[in-house]
Amino acid sequence: MFVQLLAAAGVLAVLTMVPGPDMAVVTKRAVACGWRDGLRTIGGITAGLLTWGVLTVVGLAAVLAASATAYTAVKLVGAAYLALLGVQALLHSRRDRSGAPEPAPPAPKADPWRTGFLSNVFNPKVAVFYTGLLPTLAPSGMAAPAGMALLVLLHAVLTLVWLGGYVLLLARARVFFERPVVRRTMDRVTGVVLIGFGIKVATTRP
């Protein structure tokens, strides 16, 4: 069972490190508002993962993954939310095009925890991932619900460690990211990336 759990951890670690909407949202908050907001955003993302984990264990996520109507509804809401975040970032990048130094931008009004939570919980690919992949990774020596719950917790911990380390690295380079030109460029890049992920979520199938 230990070997199976170790192999599952390796798979989950690789999937956690693949850049996706969560990393784009965290980047946007951490660069704009600092590492504390970045960590709060990660907390919301982790809560979203745990929410999907609970739904998976009780079987509701499987219903979503199997229902084309429910899947489409959730993915369109999630895609719209990611696109909204992207548009906000692009609009913010146009706030001041002058080359003169500018004060730090005001913090986004949206709560960082809620931003992370909504961006994750409205991503139906997490439901498909949990219901489709986790059962194949669950240790055979454990009851299925317990094995699934353990892997969900493991995935949440890996997400906290990976994104938390990423935010702290961004914090060390905060002086660089506070330069007006760099900040505007980052807003534009993250805006385009978020809109791109929104389109990807909207056009994917279960």
- Give me the pLDDT at residue 99, please: 47
Cα–Cα distances in angstroms (integers) from residue 184 to residues 85, 91, 103, 173, in the given order:
15, 10, 13, 16
- Give me the pLDDT at residue 108, please: 56
Please enumerate in sequence order all residues whose Cβ is within 8 A of that of 129, keeping only pairs 6 or more positions apart, or say none. Answer: 15
- Give me the pLDDT at residue 89, please: 79
> What is the full DSSP assignment across 158-185?
HHHHHHHHHHHHHHHTHHHHTSHHHHHH
Please enumerate in sequence order all residues whose Cβ is within 8 A of that of 66, keeping only pairs 6 or more positions apart, or say none. Answer: 206
- Give me the pLDDT at residue 100, please: 47
- Give me the pLDDT at residue 152, please: 93
- Give me the pLDDT at residue 109, please: 63
Q: Sign of torsion, CA 125 54 38 79?
A: positive
pLDDT in tens, the chain (206 residues): 778 888 889 989 988 888 888 999 999 888 888 899 999 999 999 999 999 999 888 887 777 677 778 778 877 887 888 888 888 878 877 765 544 444 544 555 679 999 999 999 988 888 878 877 777 888 888 887 888 889 999 999 999 999 999 999 988 887 787 778 877 887 888 888 888 888 887 887 76
3-state secondary structure of 143: coil
Tell if the pTM clears 0.85, that is, is over it: no
> What is the end-to-end Cα distance of the chain in Å, rounded?
30
**CA nearest neighbour of 116 among 175, 43, 203:** 43
- Helix and strand numbers, DSSP H then E, in the chain: 11, 0
